[in-house]
Chains A and B, each alone.
Chain A
Amino acid sequence: MATFAKINRKNIKHCLLVALQVTGFCGFAWLCQTLAIYINSPIPGSVIGLTILLLLLSLKLIPERSVSLASKWLIGELLLFFIPPVVAVIKYQALLEHFGAVLIGAMLAASTCVLVGTAFTVDKLFKFEHKMHLKRQAAKTVQHVDQTMAVAEKVLTLPKTSPTDLAPKATEERQAA
């Protein structure tokens, strides 16, 4: 019973935190959209907002955890947000009944082209870039080994300091103190 209450309190706290962050996101989105309209920007407010948030995160001006919960929720429930516009197509019911079959057939063909074309191109490109990546990595390793060798050589060729050389210094320091 006690653990249940504890979990419950934790859940409520989590939900409140998500709600708070999401509200923050909404406010920020509204600000960006107002700004976009105000400056007559060709780029929509939401994309401006995305860029600003990415900059803020990259410059470490805001911590990742302050946006992570809301970000996860908003992206996770994306489908919910575009159900209303999809349902609104009943306005165009007649149009879709007439052209539905042609549309789906044509879209199937087009999507096949995009999927296969992109996958094929990327597959070839990736093999090339992965090779480059491995080469870079190998070069870095070689450089690293060279540096280590150089340091090692320096250490090994250093004149040996015997404990007796250090002893007088220590006594001087003690006297000074």
Chain B
Amino acid sequence: MSHSIVGLFCLVLTLIGYFASKALYKRQRKVWLAPIIIAPMAILITVVSLKIDVSDYFSYTHYLAAMLAPATIAFALPIYRERELIKQYPLTLSLGVICGLLLGLGSSWLLVKLTNLPPELSHSLMVRSVSTPFAIEATGSFGGIPELTAMLVLLTGVIGMLICEPLFKVANIKSAIAKGVALGASAHGAGAAKASEIGRQEGVIASLTMIFTGIAMVLTAPLFAALLH
């Protein structure tokens, strides 16, 4: 009985934390107040300080996590809507996706080789550059753990969002499509959100790249896992 009350409390806490952080960001547009940073942190801190058990936390909130599957399906609409753009630059987009995917996997693999992280972490790292719903599907192939993968994906998104602008300046990247593809391929949803702040076209391209990179990751993960192990 008390367990289900704690579970319900956690669901309400998550919802309030999420929508409050969104409302806050609408008023105060500071990078460190972005919902992707503040919402998980606030909820995590509350759960830890109240000493709530993970299984209790998950008892109702797993319905929220289950929504990742319909959200993946919903990505069909942006692809359909932007079909003209895809027809216009098929080469740039597809090679951008391949390049982003290979660099993402390669850099994670190299990172694992250079540091000696425990296997739970290193296996969960491989899919970190694609959007969460795809990453959670793909991480099993590499032997990753869904929860750690979700956190590493989130961290990658935040890092990409924070370092993109100085990097573009240093590397002298000016075209909208290059910025969009790079953000979508390296920092998924957070990158796409950042790209839409830079410009509309950048945002659309970043979302498309994010979706295609995610699909490509899910489809090729078993192959790469076999290759790298």
Contacts and interface: CB of A to CB of B under 8 A. Distances in A.
Interface of A: 22, 25-26, 28-30, 32-33, 42-47, 49-51, 53-54, 57-58, 64, 67-68, 70-72, 74-75, 77-93, 95-96, 99, 102-104, 106-123, 125-130, 133
11 contacts: A25-B73, A57-B80, A71-B78, A80-B14, A84-B57, A89-B44, A103-B155, A111-B159, A112-B167, A115-B183, A126-B175
B96 interface: yes
A74 B71 contact: yes
B150 A114 contact: no
Nearest to B63: A84
Interface string B141-162: 0000111111111111001100
Given A79-B189, A103-B121, A119-B179, A112 B163 contact: yes
A133 B88 CA distance: 7
Given A85-B146, A123-B175, A75 B47 contact: no
Looking at chain B, what size class is its interface with the partner chain?
A: 35 or more
Given A47-B134, A86-B147, 17 more contacts: A29-B70, A57-B80, A67-B74, A71-B78, A80-B64, A81-B68, A82-B65, A83-B39, A84-B62, A85-B151, A86-B151, A89-B44, A99-B118, A106-B114, A111-B129, A111-B187, A114-B186
Nearest to A70: B74
A126 B103 contact: no
A157 B198 CA distance: 56
